[in-house]
Chain A
């Protein structure tokens, strides 16, 4: 059984930056476009995803020896659905206002490709501790992406951050519109690509010199 050789810290950083679910893997784009209007939304949905990802990863890594390979995908789906139900009920009970703001997206975590993918690629082959840290990394990576998008849209659209007025004026009201989510994600991806090409070009030049 292939067990990861990375340390826990490497696993965590891998999820946060190298394989960031939103900007690098381009998975689970629906919430990134749909409800990234404020930072608060990003943080709350991030917490929900983190919870589901960590608990599903841990569950699967614990029971991996008892799953028949042919029914592994349904098992993953049902595990995720169970944990989504838990977080859904908890949020509805203790944070009704935020729950309303996020709408149907909390329950749609069950269909996020990123969670199933991590279970398939990582948790079903590794032990409890690495799976836990991989789940933490992916969850925080998702939260990081959502917060960045939310911050851009909130500052440019409303001139506020986390509800506090920091600019005093609204630079581009356009970014409040729901459709601007597509543009924000598109621009962010282009910036990431540009940074990558610059970085690789500089490394090539260094090699030549």
Chain B
């Protein structure tokens, strides 16, 4: 009986651990949706550069809304600096409230809004502390576009050049490499993210990052190789050649390191990995289109081959500099 009990506690501890992981994912999903911290407030969003709109569950008191002292807005990192509120407008149905601030709100930083002692129908609803975030989907999209175009790994960060110059001679090779690379990098990054968050960080093994990540990348490549060979031999015969080359690419190890440094969550990691893969595909495709035409061009003899490819890549990099500093949403 005692033995069974021991066994049971062990399993329950293990189960508890799994449950914690599952709860974490559910919490993550919940945080993605619009959710506020007060039961009477339905929604709090940025509306314009100067406005924050708050929607209530029921009509609030006009006299309460008219008192500007009831409202304060500040950026989450520094609660001591309050933004000046110019005016407070209550909609005719008394359900939505719009706060106008003196200075424009930077939407990249999450803001806190404090509503003191909300009064609705003469009944006090308590003080509400709300967090206002930028739309999460937009944020994810900006990470994707950032990794793909604005901070393109090849043309703006100069990574993965060996493979880039090796496989950009023909369009078909370029597309094959790009697609394979995208698949592998997404799988590898998610695996490394999981490993980093749930094994390396809790046990304080951060210094093993490099060893673990390179091992995981090789494992992923081997795994994709095996699965593809069994599941889809036709696809394997088309893309199998490029799988080996993926390991030699710096980007595939750089992305997990960036994820670990920036403490991204799982969706952000997915977007960054996808962006890096697609960005590499775009870069390869652009480059191969130019290089196919260079075959017929009259190039000075000493520039033939790699030198001219480098110069073309330099021109691309100059063009991609035009994207720098751009921000979406």
What is the interface of chain A, defined by CB distance below 8 A to chain B? 26-30, 33-34, 73-74, 77-78, 81-82, 84-85, 88-89, 104, 107-108, 110-113, 116, 177-183, 185-187, 189-191, 193-194, 197
Contacts and interface: CB of A to CB of B under 8 A. Distances in A.
Interface string B124-159: 000000000000000000000000000000011111
B158 A104 contact: no
A107 B310 contact: no
A85 B159 contact: no
13 contacts: A26-B165, A29-B162, A29-B165, A30-B159, A33-B158, A74-B218, A77-B247, A81-B211, A84-B210, A88-B210, A110-B253, A112-B250, A181-B158
A113 B160 CA distance: 11
Interface residue range, chain B: 35 or more
Q: Is the interface of B mostly helix, strand, loop or mixed?
A: helix
B208 interface: yes
B179 to A, nearest CB: 21
| Majority secondary structure, A binding face | helix
B272 to A, nearest CB: 14
Contacts of A108: 159, 250, 253-254, 257
Contact of B308 (A85, A104, A181, A186): A186
Contacts of B25: none
Given A33-B158, A33-B161, A186 B210 contact: no
B313 interface: yes
Contacts of B258: 104
A177 B321 contact: yes
Contact of A104 (B211, B257, B321): B257
A78 B254 contact: no
B301 interface: yes
Contact of A179 (B159, B162, B214, B314): B314
Given A111-B249, A179-B317, A179-B318, A187 B160 contact: no
B301 A179 contact: no
Nearest first, the 7 A-B pairs at minimum CB distance are A182-B314, A186-B310, A179-B317, A34-B158, A194-B302, A193-B302, A190-B307
Contact of B314 (A88, A107, A183): A183
A78 B215 contact: yes
A178 B317 contact: yes
A1 to B, nearest CB: 26
Given A85-B207, A185-B310, A186-B314, A178 B158 contact: yes
B303 A107 contact: no
Given A179-B317, A182-B311, A110 B214 contact: yes
A110 to B, nearest CB: 5
A59 B159 CA distance: 28
A28 B318 CA distance: 21
Nearest to B303: A190
B314 A113 contact: no
A30 B314 contact: no
Given A29-B165, A77-B218, A110 B254 contact: no
A89 to B, nearest CB: 6
A128 to B, nearest CB: 24
A108 B311 CA distance: 24
B103 to A, nearest CB: 33
Contacts of A78: 211, 214-215
A108 B317 CA distance: 21
B306 interface: yes
B14 interface: no
B68 interface: no
B229 to A, nearest CB: 17
